[in-house]
């Protein structure tokens, strides 16, 4: 189990953003991905999650081992908190949502429509979804946006518990998560050089 990325080249909108990205994520460890805005962190995570194909290189992971969480939480406003979680649990073939509710302290919000939650509460619900998927590798894109200090602590505890169970996490973030054991990977070192147009027709498309 684990995630192995070798010599990956990725593009956004047809322009190469990162090239030669290589890292290995072992079970029980976490990698924090850093880098300035626009460097291609989200594109890298979406490629790792299989949402878009890489231009070059390989992403190796066991089938059905990844779960992706992006900028949007995928929450339905008219469903309640527990209905939202139950839906994702059923999609991933799990049944129990009580651990997820407890880990992000959503007990008192469980029967409230998700549309009535604050931004931070919605984010907590989105992160609680990770726990009901039962997948070992978490691929998270800025998971702590709009969370308060206390909720960041909840998140750090959830990640730590996940790592202790033999899981792994790849997290793009700008803030300090309180996870000193996580390895830091700077996306800036893989920045793609501006390639000369090798295809003449490309200039006219």
78 binds another protein (CB under 8 A): yes
Residues in the interface with another protein (CB under 8 A) total 29
* Segment (H or E) for 96: none
State which of residues 40, 88, 137, 171 lies at the interface with another protein (CB under 8 A): 88
From 16, 83, 105, 191, residue interacting with another protein (rule: CB under 8 A): 83
**Could you tell me the end-to-end alpha-carbon distance of the chain, in angstroms, rounded to an integer?**
43
Q: Which is nearer to another protein, 30 or 67 (CB)?
A: 67
Give long-range contacts, CB 8 A cutoff, 24+ apart: 97-100.
Answer: 97/128, 97/132, 99/131, 99/132, 100/128, 100/129, 100/130, 100/131, 100/132
Question: Of the listed pieces 91-99, 104-112, 144-152, 173-181, which binds another protein according to CB under 8 A?
Answer: 91-99
Site string for another protein, 117-136 (x = CB under 8 A): ------------x-------
Kind and range of the H or E run holding 44:
helix 41-48
Strand partners, 26: 2
Is 74 an interacting residue with respect to another protein (CB under 8 A)?
yes
Q: How far is the CB of 94 from another protein (least distance, A)?
A: 11
Note the helical H segments in 56-144.
81-91, 98-103, 119-133
69 binds another protein (CB under 8 A): yes
Chain residues binding another protein by CB under 8 A are 46, 49-53, 64, 66-79, 83, 87-88, 90-93, 129
């Amino acid at each position: 189990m684990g995630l192995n990325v070798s010599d990956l080249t990725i593009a956004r909108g047809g322009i190469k953003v990162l090239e030669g990205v290589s890292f290995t994520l072992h079970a029980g460890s976490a990698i924090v991905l850093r880098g300035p805005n626009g460097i291609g962190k989200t594109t890298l995570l979406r490629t790792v999650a299989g949402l878009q194909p890489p231009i070059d290189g390989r992403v190796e992971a066991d089938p059905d081992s990844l779960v992706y969480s992006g900028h949007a939480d995928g929450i339905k406003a008219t469903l309640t908190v527990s209905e939202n979680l139950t839906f994702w649990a059923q999609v991933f073939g799990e049944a129990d949502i009580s651990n997820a509710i407890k880990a992000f302290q959503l007990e008192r919000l469980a029967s409230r429509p998700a549309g009535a939650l604050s931004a931070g509460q919605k984010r907590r619900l989105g992160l609680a979804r990770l726990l009901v998927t039962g997948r070992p590798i978490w691929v998270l894109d800025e998971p702590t946006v709009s969370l308060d200090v206390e909720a960041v602590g909840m998140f750090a505890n959830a990640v730590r518990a996940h790592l202790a169970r033999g899981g792994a996490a790849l997290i793009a973030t700008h803030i300090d998560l309180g996870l000193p054991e996580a390895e830091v990977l700077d996306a800036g070192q893989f920045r793609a050089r501006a390639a000369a147009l090798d295809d003449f027709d490309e200039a006219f498309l």
